[in-house]
Amino acid sequence: MRENKSGKRIYRKEYCSLVSKKAYLGNQEPKQIQYASPMEAESLKYFPNVYMEVAEFDSLRDEGIAFAERLRSEGVFTELHEVKGACHGFETALENYV
C-alpha cells in the first residue's frame, strides 16, 4: 500500500490478500471463500447502504477503497471516508496509550 507521485495507488493485492486471509483463516482454505470475504462474492447488489472509513496508514486501506468502489459499481449506496494521518484501529487508539 503506497501512493506514487501522481497520487495513484499502487496495489499489492496478492500479498495483502494472502496475509489477510492467512491471519483470518489460518491454514484453512474454505470451500466457499465468499463467506469469509465479501470481496469474493459473486454479487454485492443485495448489501444494505454502507458507511465506510479507511485510514491513510492502514495496510488494508486499498482493499477498503476497492470494496467501496465495487459496492458502488453494483448499485449499493456507499459513503466512503478516507481519514488522513490515521493508522489501522485509530478509533480505539484514541482511548488507549498507543
Euclidean distance between the first and final Cα of the chain, in Å?
Answer: 22
Residue 72 cell numbers, joined: 458502488
Q: Please give the biggest Cα pair distance in the chain.
A: 41
In a domain, 59, yes or no: yes
Q: Which of 3-17, 18-32, 70-84 has the lowest mean pLDDT?
A: 3-17
Please give the residue range of the domain that contains residue 20: 2-93
Domains held by the chain: number = 1
In a domain, 8, yes or no: yes
In a domain, 75, yes or no: yes
What's the pLDDT score for residue 89?
81
In a domain, 41, yes or no: yes
The Cα–Cα gap between 53 and 81 comes to: 5
Reported as a single tens digit per residue, the pLDDT across 18-52 is 666 677 777 666 565 666 778 878 899 999 999 99
In a domain, 98, yes or no: no
